[in-house]
A and B are shown apart, each in its own frame.
Chain A
Amino acid sequence: MRVIVTINMVGLNAYRRDNFDHPTAGLVIVLVLVAWTAAAIWLYHDRARRTSVLLVADLAIALAAMAATPVVKGADFNATIPGFWVMGALLAWAIHWHWKGGLVASVLIAAFDLFPRSEMDQGNYGNVFLVLIGGPIVGFMCESLQRMARERDAAEHAAAAAEERTRLARAVHDGVLQVLTMTQRQGAAAGGEWAELGRLAGEQERSLRSLIRQQDTVPTAAGGRVDLAGALEAMAAAHPVHVEVATPGGAVLVDERVATETVAAVRACLDNVLAHVGPEANAWVLAQASRDAVTISVRDDGPGIETGRLERAAADGRLGVVSSIRGRIEDLGGTAVVESGDWGTEWELSVPLA
């Protein structure tokens, strides 16, 4: 660009050489400007040389050439010697110091252009106006572009880092899971104190595995909808009863209220298992999801509810837990059915997805 405005400057000055009061001085100034252009192109090329000194010198030379105009061309000149050539310095300031640099450079150029003139016409005014508008705007746009580039780099960097973290976490988790399961297995075989250690390792292995699975489904939870499968796993992992959770694979997205209430109802089922069967009980939770409903089955391997006990409890007004399970599910417009036999007790909770 500097080359084009320089050719323009040289050409125009050659064309209008008759206007010069002192043609030799004019020629010297033009040659100085051409030499400076070549120097500037080389100096600006390397980022390390783009210092404030260079920018100030660049603008100072442009202003000096403008200031020299009335002396060389006479007081009633039409165009300054550098003319549009000042654009180079102006844009350099705008690019380097953004809108502030653009503004300062354009105000200085405008001032040096206007003060020496004996009179001002529409053309002069138009040029000055464009310089004043253009300088800050180019600066502002440069700033935005640079900021966008920085933000994009930062986002790309963050995404790459997150991906690498996930990959590393998988490798680490897998190794830790292997050791925990191994400890559990060998501990159980050795018996005694080791069996206790093995049991603890087993607990840790289960909660870690459940955490990993939940993490897999985290990004899909969006727009006020949450993953019911992940929420059930989290709750089950923290429950004192030993619970195994089976899910349909992938996230089961439901409204937050549905998830909260359903998880609370399932927790109440498990609390019931703890109260009636004891901490040694095993329980299983199966989540099934279709487009319009979720069904959660909760089974324990206890002795079952003896016939008539629920009815007696209802008659005595002692149906605290059962009514809390039913209440929560019915509030969601669903149904809660309990079945019992020598295979244990099973709740089936169905909740419609409106």
Chain B
Amino acid sequence: MVRVMVVDDHPMWRDAVERDLQAAGHDVVAVASNGREAMARFPASAPQVVVLDLQLPDHSGVQVTSMMLEHDPTVRVLILSASGEQDDVLEAIKAGATGYLVKSASSAELVDAVVRTSEGEAVFTPGLAGLVLGEFRRIAEGPADDPRDQLTERETEILKMVATGMSYKQIAARLVLSHRTVQNHVQNTLRKLQMNNRVQLTRWAIEHGLDGDAEA
């Protein structure tokens, strides 16, 4: 049983997701229809997984993601989005979300994704893998003194397979690796992406004199 919070501004969707999760035996500890409600109810309900729609009427889902993770670094955020807003999805992942699912996924896929997210697994769609590959490619072609981490060849290879719709199991069989190793590689790509994001933010802060020493 996983403690889940559902944040979505469409009541129809919120109810459907809640029903599906409850039918599968999970505990929906809170629901919210906007960023303000979500942040108000989040600390008390202490969910393990937050199922979050990126398009909220007040805050953006990206902001909500980073605020929640700042408050509780152990929470897992699964992004659920209807319109495939590419930039937003990538930003939410950089901010610390560990999963992404399009709303057209079936109930079974949703429940499965929530369970996998709660276990610390990275839930990718092929579309997200494509975006992550693109992001690392942009880093690789950036300035040579960029301290940000690059993907290893193996990680790139695995992400490419995820982007062409292969399951972790299929990838493990094709590369003669264990299922667990494939999962670790995928998680590593996310970890690097989030780390790079922090490096970039810190660098930006230093360049703009926003670090602690720059009071003068």
Contact = CB atoms under 8 A, between A and B. Distances in A.
A249 B86 contact: yes
A83 B137 CA distance: 77
A148 B134 CA distance: 44
A178 B131 CA distance: 23
A249 B165 contact: no
B127 A246 contact: yes
A174 B170 contact: no
A19 interface: no
Contacts of A247: 86, 127, 130-131, 134
B104 A288 contact: no
B126 interface: yes
A284 B55 contact: no
B129 interface: yes
Interface stretch (B8-16, B25-33, B182-190, B199-207): B8-16
Contact of B104 (A184, A248, A250, A286): A184
Interface in B186-216: none
Contacts of B164: 246, 284-286, 297-299, 346
Chain B contact residues: over half helix, strand or loop, or mixed? Answer: helix
B134 A288 contact: yes
A216 B86 CA distance: 10
A189 B133 contact: no
Contacts of A212: 83-84
Nearest to B110: A185
B46 interface: no
B141 interface: yes
A177 interface: yes
A170 B54 CA distance: 14
Contacts of B177: none
Contacts of B39: none
A249 B87 contact: yes
B148 interface: no
Chain A contact residues: over half helix, strand or loop, or mixed? Answer: mixed
Contacts of A234: none
Interface residues of A, number: 43
A118 interface: no
A246 B126 contact: yes
Interface in A139-177: 170, 173-174, 177
Interface string B133-162: 111011011000000000000000000100
Contacts of B127: 244-247
Contact of A188 (B86, B106, B135, B138): B106
Contacts of A246: 126-127, 129-131, 163-164
Contacts, number: 111
Contacts of A202: 104
B82 A178 contact: yes
Interface in A260-291: 282, 284-291
A288 B107 CA distance: 31
B130 A343 contact: no
A216 B87 CA distance: 11
Contacts of B174: 341, 343
B137 A289 contact: yes
Contact of A343 (B55, B102, B170): B170
B115 interface: no
B160 A286 contact: yes
A132 B135 CA distance: 67
A2 interface: no
A248 B82 contact: no
B69 interface: no
A298 B160 CA distance: 11
Nearest to A184: B104
B84 A213 contact: yes
Given A248-B133, A299-B165, A185 B170 contact: no
B86 A282 contact: no
A8 interface: no
Interface of B: 10, 12-13, 16, 55, 82-84, 86-87, 90, 102-104, 106-107, 126-127, 129-131, 133-135, 137-138, 140-141, 160, 163-166, 170, 173-174
Interface of A: 170, 173-174, 177-178, 181-182, 184-186, 188-189, 202, 205-206, 209, 212-213, 216, 244-250, 282, 284-291, 297-299, 301, 341-343, 346
7 contacts: A185-B107, A209-B83, A247-B134, A249-B135, A250-B87, A289-B134, A297-B163
